[in-house]
Structure 1
Amino acid sequence: MTAHPPLLAIRNLSVRVDGGDQAVVQGFDLDLQAGRMMALVGESGSGKTMVARSILGLLPPPMMIGAGSSITYRGQELTGLPTRRLRAVRGAEIGMVFQEPMTSLNPSMTIGEQMAEGLVLHQRLNRADCRRRIITMLDRIGIPAPERCLAAYPHEFSGGMRQRIMLASVMLLKPKLLVADEPTTALDTLVQHDVMELMIELTTENDTAVLLISHDLGMVSHYIEDVVVMRHGEAVERGPARDVLLNPVHDYTRRLVDALPRRRADAPREAPVTTPLVVARDVVVEYPGRATLFGRRAVNRAVKGVSLTIGAGETVALVGGSGSGKTTLGRAIMGLEPIAGGRITLDGRPVGRMQAGRGPIDDDACRRMQIVFQDPYASLDPRMRVEEIVGEPLRLDGLDRAERRERVRAICDEAGLPLDLLDRHPHALSGGQRQRVAIARAIIRDPAFVVADEPVSALDMTVQKQILLLIRRLQERRGFACLFVSHDLGAVEQVADRVVVMQAGLIVEEGACARIFDAPEAEYTRRLLDAAMLLGRSFPGAEAGPSANHPQPAATRMPDV
């Protein structure tokens, strides 16, 4: 029996800087059959996104495909194909879902206009047929009131909804090959699960092959049939996802798997008893809604009377789906969001800012609290050098330049930042280095309390491990309490003493980390754990695992370390 030729065949692919000798991808080969699902995994900078973009001729300048490279789709050579003919393949034959839908959806165009573009260009449909097919697809992917959605803009939807819309736009054309570049990064576990299930459903119907780029090994193990592990632009291991990820052969693959978060050996079974440091009582956070017909504004309550206590030196993880209120609560505790009701104190001194400026604020107490933001690139001043960024909080202490410089060098050394980075600007740093700068800035004045808001959500697995270990080490050394806001349950299990679960602005469950993960009581907590695609893990009490339509690893629990 003769094997079918691959739908996509890549031979000896090299990608290099135009005019340079250094290759970011070198000698890469790949075969992908119709209807199969394959993942490219590896650290940031491994070359996996460059491979994906090479297929569609979307390499960013000055990158270029090297001589001798071959990429064929259905037997047609794509390298060197004229732009006009390549455009006929993009969308109609090969679709691509990008990592961040907000940057790939045009903010100045309505959803209906953007989704109709491909149908008009490739299938020559009239306006009525386009509208009918778009509404049917939006209804299919779970967008409420799809007719109204046509006139809405991307900023009116959550990240998960935008990713659904992006996927629907691509699948409207029924491509035979779908390239998905980190389609679930920065989404919470429930939305990740929904987006991947939707992708499986839509691609299965059309017998679409999928090439997935990801650093999420757990998600790959649940949904993908074959995997290629990349390092420094080369494939170092490949094969069935179950075999490669659960029984890796190459040392690099072993290091990737070893970098996945695991529960601390000293994780308590009962909630630790500590001296209360931060106390939030009946906290309410409100936002004005849209104006009604008579000019009144409805009120949206993001946090609905939540009470929370964090002990000295304790790490409390705040988890929940997108829109649950966890980030809003963390910002309210820091005084970055005004509260409409309740009280927030640090060592009994008020720190929460009331709406319209009501209520006393203790400035000294506020200075003992710091925050590490989710996106360090957005929170670091691009015009300042690392030394200036880290040392800026010390201006409050009246230190001279020499004293500040000495303190900055000491904290950077403690945070694992080489001193030769001090003269660089944020754009010249990697994602992990920028996060280390943000952490160093937050702890340089020895705060009593730190809020870490999704500090590892966009980092690859090895950098995640480094940052999580850094936070834990600094906390043990300096003794600060930490509110760890995250949707990454693997990271939570590694760092948290206690877990607080939020849903729709309310706390639905809280308890010691080990108890929450091993014996969740609330239905919502069980759903979060069930949707958490952790490599080789199953959770007691989980309802149903990932769909049986795609391969899954054996449901064995990783050893605690």
Structure 2
Amino acid sequence: MNRPKETAKPGDTRQGPARSQEETEPMVAGGHSASAPTVALSVRDLTVRLPDGMERHNAIENISFDLHRGQILCVIGESGSGKSVTANTVMGLLPKAMTTSSGSITLEGREIVGMGAEELRSIRGRVVSMIFQDPLSALNPLMTVGAQIDEAMAAHGVGSVVSRRERAIELLTEVGLPDPALMYHQYPFRLSGGQRQRVMIAMALSLEPTILIADEPTTALDVTTQAQILTLIKDIQRRKGMSVMFITHDFGVVAEIADSVVVMEKGHVVERGKADKVLTAPDHPYTKRLIAAVPHLSAEDQTRPTAAAEAKPLLQVHNLVKTYRSGSRLLRTERVVPAVQDVSFEVRPGHTLGVVGESGSGKSSLGRLLNRLMDTDSGAIVFEGRDIAKLPESVFRSLRPKIQMIFQDPFASLNPRMTVGTILTVGPKAHGMPARKARDEAKALLDLVGLDARAYDRYPHEFSGGQRQRIGIARALMFKPQLLIADEAVSALDVSIQAQILELLDRIQRDTGVAMIFITHDLRVASQICDEIAVMQKGRIVEFGRPSQIFFNPTADYTRELVAAIPGEHFDDKTKAPAPAGDQKIVHISQQGKQT
């Protein structure tokens, strides 16, 4: 397909990227360059229309790119840039409210725009497969892991029951899950986030597709699990010769795995090219802003006013213990998991304590204990001089507005039947705030966290994952809390919005003196926003100190492993910090977008 010549539209001030090699070389049938490698996926002038009443008319507009066979193409951009819409269009999974109004998608030589549902279903999984952003919501909670992998193969009439079971166990082994035969019979809720993501990869590979689409597959994972998943995807891609379209908002991930990059902004492709070129010498101002917003480990600790440093602790935690038990002791199936073990620390007004560690280290359990979302086994939680750990719920209810939480999964924590306005105002109104004041403050906070005022009357499903996270932050701030517990509050956000939210939280903290417990798996973010860091492993704090000490002079081997696993992070000789292990491609991206 010959690409139509693009002309500037009146009033269009966007700076287009320099035309890449794939655009300037002569085209042959199918839109492929005569001298280019075979193209597995070709997208030309694709436009997908949004329903009326949205912020813009099109989710994506006139986008074009190629995914070459056996390569990894990273699609990067902010929330709402159209990355996931592009992937869902290729998969034929667009919601009914959105329509493909023009353009072409050639998949292994077959045009799929306008293809019937049955024909699309026949190539979905066999030719192209997808790893979804949130494995917990993508996996059926009522089916075992093995049954779900089996179902994917049975839907295409592959093999017998016995052969499918053998294939499923083989796939679970291939993606590195422990005890695959036992894992075959487990339900998704019993697995960690990294294990669920590996199950999603196994399902995606079950029919040996030639193209794999990965939509933010490492966003919610800790750094060590993220490194394992990236290594796994690269290894599978090399061994099977697959083509991978990898959607991400993390330039560190791009530096690790990408052969080529497509940068999207508000539904348009603004830059594309080889990964090294885009990372080290970007052309478009938007790409430069994204690269400049990438967080890096900071060697400088936070400085707080003397009054805040000398204030009495707002929160004191003493020897906190929580153990999860499941199964039956009588039947010898009891499972005991020590989630939080003998944890002690204190937080002063206006200060931020960072809690970092791998999935399963006890970070989120600690946050839920502090907010009284579950009961402690033993220990004390002293807030404003009162031990709240043993308070009856009827007494603690009056203190809840003072301790607010930003949850890790905004989709699960937002009521899908309520508008955003109702979600933000129902709590304050229940605690006596007048309806008019609640509405005005809600709209002001939506603006503060970077959402349009029209978001007030919309529902959570109408927003991207990053936008839903901003709604969750606005909801927590509605109460003007004294203690804010942020559980992976920026894990789902792209780097530029992440930087804005961190700046927002820092400004609110300095203006109001709110104390914050910042639970995160992103060590780069923790180093920039936290006054002190607690490193958790298997329910215990294994190291505690200032960020500069934790990240540049760690004493615990576990901390060193976490620092070494940070994607795309490079430490120069002056920092004397450990470099990431292995032979991975590591690129440090400076504030000017230059490689150092």
Q: TM-score range by the shorter chain?
A: 0.7 to 0.9
Residue 60 of structure 1, aligned match among 95, 103, 128: 95
| Cα distance in 2 between the residues matched to 1:406 and 1:44 | 26
1:326 is aligned to 2:367? no
Q: Which amino acid aligns with 1:313?
A: G
| Cα distance in 2 between the residues matched to 1:458 and 1:17 | 23
Aligned-pair CA distance for 1:442:
3.5
**1:303 — aligned with what?**
340
Aligned pairs (5 A) from 1:53-452: 53-67=88-102, 69-122=103-156, 124-262=158-296, 267-268=301-302, 275-294=312-331, 297-353=334-390, 368-381=402-415, 382-383=417-418, 386=421, 389-390=424-425, 392-393=427-428, 396=431, 435-452=469-486
- Taking a change above 3 Å as real, the CA distance of residues 34 and 273 of structure 1, as seen in their structure-2 partners, is farther
Taking structure 2 as the reference length, the TM-score comes to: 0.83
Aligned-pair CA distance for 1:176:
1.4
Q: Which amino acid aligns with 2:354?
A: A
1:38 is aligned to 2:73? yes
Aligned-pair CA distance for 1:107:
2.8
Unaligned runs of 5+ in 1: none
**2:30 — aligned with what?**
none
The question of whether the paired residues in 2 share the 8 Å contact of 1:451 and 1:484 is answered with yes
Residue 495 of structure 1, aligned match among 507, 516, 529: 529
The question of whether the paired residues in 1 share the 8 Å contact of 2:551 and 2:563 is answered with yes
| Cα distance in 2 between the residues matched to 1:380 and 1:84 | 34
SS of 1:136 mapped into structure 2? helix
1:542 is aligned to 2:578? yes
- Taking a change above 3 Å as real, the CA distance of residues 400 and 196 of structure 1, as seen in their structure-2 partners, is closer
Aligned length: 551
**2:41 — aligned with what?**
8
| Cα distance in 1 between the residues matched to 2:437 and 2:106 | 61
1:27-86 deviation digits (Å, cap 9, x = unpaired): 22212221111111111221222222222322221323234x222233232223343333
Aligned-pair CA distance for 1:506:
0.2
1:103-132 deviation digits (Å, cap 9, x = unpaired): 332333322222223444557322332222
RMSD: 3.4
Aligned-pair CA distance for 1:241:
1.5
**1:24 — aligned with what?**
59
1:272-308 deviation digits (Å, cap 9, x = unpaired): 6663221111100122221134478554321011111
Aligned-pair CA distance for 1:557:
6.5
- Taking a change above 3 Å as real, the CA distance of residues 208 and 547 of structure 1, as seen in their structure-2 partners, is farther
1:183-211 deviation digits (Å, cap 9, x = unpaired): 11211112111111111111211111111
- Taking a change above 3 Å as real, the CA distance of residues 446 and 536 of structure 1, as seen in their structure-2 partners, is same
**Percent sequence identity over aligned pairs:** 37
- Taking a change above 3 Å as real, the CA distance of residues 102 and 407 of structure 1, as seen in their structure-2 partners, is closer
| Cα distance in 1 between the residues matched to 2:157 and 2:436 | 68
- Taking a change above 3 Å as real, the CA distance of residues 416 and 556 of structure 1, as seen in their structure-2 partners, is closer
| Cα distance in 1 between the residues matched to 2:291 and 2:57 | 28
SS of 1:66 mapped into structure 2? strand
| Cα distance in 1 between the residues matched to 2:447 and 2:130 | 42
The question of whether the paired residues in 1 share the 8 Å contact of 2:354 and 2:530 is answered with yes
Q: Which amino acid aligns with 2:385?
A: G
| Cα distance in 2 between the residues matched to 1:34 and 1:94 | 13
Aligned-pair CA distance for 1:380:
4.4
| Cα distance in 1 between the residues matched to 2:500 and 2:533 | 22
Q: Which amino acid aligns with 2:46?
A: L
**1:478 — aligned with what?**
512
Taking structure 1 as the reference length, the TM-score comes to: 0.87
The question of whether the paired residues in 1 share the 8 Å contact of 2:466 and 2:492 is answered with no
| Cα distance in 2 between the residues matched to 1:497 and 1:60 | 44
Q: Which amino acid aligns with 1:28?
A: I
Greater Cα offset, 182-191 or 139-148: 139-148
Aligned-pair CA distance for 1:445:
4.8
| Cα distance in 2 between the residues matched to 1:9 and 1:537 | 38
SS of 1:474 mapped into structure 2? helix
The question of whether the paired residues in 1 share the 8 Å contact of 2:291 and 2:589 is answered with no
1:303-351 deviation digits (Å, cap 9, x = unpaired): 0111111122211111111111111112212222211111111233212
SS of 1:291 mapped into structure 2? coil
The question of whether the paired residues in 1 share the 8 Å contact of 2:339 and 2:362 is answered with yes
Aligned-pair CA distance for 1:25:
2.0
| Cα distance in 1 between the residues matched to 2:447 and 2:58 | 32
| Cα distance in 2 between the residues matched to 1:93 and 1:411 | 45
Unaligned runs of 5+ in 2: 1-33
| Cα distance in 2 between the residues matched to 1:113 and 1:409 | 46
- Taking a change above 3 Å as real, the CA distance of residues 412 and 61 of structure 1, as seen in their structure-2 partners, is closer
- Taking a change above 3 Å as real, the CA distance of residues 431 and 121 of structure 1, as seen in their structure-2 partners, is closer
SS of 2:314 mapped into structure 1? strand
SS of 1:143 mapped into structure 2? coil
SS of 1:302 mapped into structure 2? strand
Q: Which amino acid aligns with 2:186?
A: A
- Taking a change above 3 Å as real, the CA distance of residues 273 and 60 of structure 1, as seen in their structure-2 partners, is same
The question of whether the paired residues in 2 share the 8 Å contact of 1:267 and 1:513 is answered with yes
SS of 2:408 mapped into structure 1? coil
Q: Which amino acid aligns with 2:62?
A: G
- Taking a change above 3 Å as real, the CA distance of residues 402 and 205 of structure 1, as seen in their structure-2 partners, is closer
The question of whether the paired residues in 2 share the 8 Å contact of 1:269 and 1:515 is answered with no
| Cα distance in 2 between the residues matched to 1:5 and 1:417 | 42
Greater Cα offset, 143-152 or 267-276: 267-276
| Cα distance in 2 between the residues matched to 1:119 and 1:430 | 30
1:469 is aligned to 2:506? no
